[in-house]
Amino acid sequence: MSDFVEVKDLRRLFDVSKPLVTRLIERAPKQYLKAVDGVSFSIRKGETFALVGESGSGKSTVARMVVGLLPATEGTITIDGVSMRDKADAAARQKLRRRIQMIFQDPYASLNPRWRVERIVAEPIRAFGLITTPDAIRARVGELLTLVGLHPDDGRKFPHEFSGGQRQRIAIARALASNAEFLVCDEPTSALDVSVQAQILNLMKELQESFGLTYLFISHNLAVVRYMATRIGVMYLGRLVEIAPARELFARPRHPYTRMLLDAVPDLHMSGRTRTPVGGEIPNPINPPPGCTFHPRCPLANERCRREAPAFIDGVACHAVEEGRVAA
């Protein structure tokens, strides 16, 4: 299976400096926040690649750069052979945009409250000129609403007349309206009740199987990721620390941070295994720790970890794994 999405050495800096006059008076240098620092991964066509990590790890920033909502400072993003950053590929990139859509965390905030649902869902159809006649557009909107578990007559309502789960179904219908092939899902169920989350996740899996969709799935909920993902990338302070197939990562996590995240999940099987809850907080990204940025919270950190940043080798970036100091 070929790679549909390829991300290499992606970086994003945010200028968080004080105003120029203040800096001149205080003789202070500019300050930059490294939200994403050298992230690389690929997604095969038809699979779900998930990014997980605590809040502030850079997951959503990566998602917005991949779809083009946020420009990358450095690095390359290639989708189906088309560069998302090369100006020479502008025409090809414009054609590609129809095949890329995003599903946001808050379904109500992502829907125009002044528009009826039929207009919201039809907007991508009109924008890309997929269908031109009003009757055909109305029929297509009805098909899409039915596809996501709503009734065609719901198109005459406004977003505030629906529940949170129904609004997310509308957002999914809008994403599919342009015949999208690649969906970037940024915490698509975190604002929903648990029972509704299951319904939306099942719908997304059914649509993926029916249309061969490719997902980049952003979440901090490991239970959701375990159900949805084919492969998982674990992020910490803007960097990928581990990438592995979903089953392998949950059965044999290698990086200490991954192990700590999994230990925080309730042990429903009551296995009696020793568990180490996640301790401490993510450091200030403006002034990250030297060496491995996880070392202040890592129980296996040594002097090398405090001094030298680990290279990403064989799916993991950890000196303890490289040196064999992590028990199987």
Predicted model pTM = 0.90
Average pLDDT estimate for 143-148: 96
What letter represents residue 223's amino acid? A
H or E stretch including 245?
Answer: strand 239-245
pLDDT above 90 (res 51): yes
d(CA 64, CA 317): 24
SS3 145: helix
Q: What is the pLDDT, as a whole number, of residue 216?
A: 96
d(CA 322, CA 328): 13
Strand 3-15 versus strand 74-79 pairing type: antiparallel
Is the pLDDT higher at 108 or at 40? 40
Q: What is the pLDDT, as a whole number, of residue 246?
A: 94
d(CA 241, CA 317): 5
Q: What is the mean pLDDT of the chain?
A: 90
Strand 48-52 versus strand 74-79 pairing type: unpaired
Q: Please name the residues in contact with 259: beta carbons below 8 A apart, sequence gap of 6 or more.
A: 253, 276
Average pLDDT estimate for 270-292: 74
pLDDT above 70 (res 288): yes
In DSSP terms, 138 is beta-bridged to none
Q: What is the pLDDT, as a whole number, of residue 78?
A: 93
Where does the pLDDT of residue 270 fall: very low under 50, low under 70, confident under 90, or very high at 90 and above? Answer: very low
Where does the pLDDT of residue 244 fall: very low under 50, low under 70, confident under 90, or very high at 90 and above? Answer: very high
Q: What is the pLDDT, as a whole number, of residue 105?
A: 86
Q: Which two tokens stand for residue 289?
A: 């720790």
d(CA 175, CA 123): 10
HSE (side-chain half, CA atoms, 13 Å) at 106: 6
pLDDT above 90 (res 184): yes
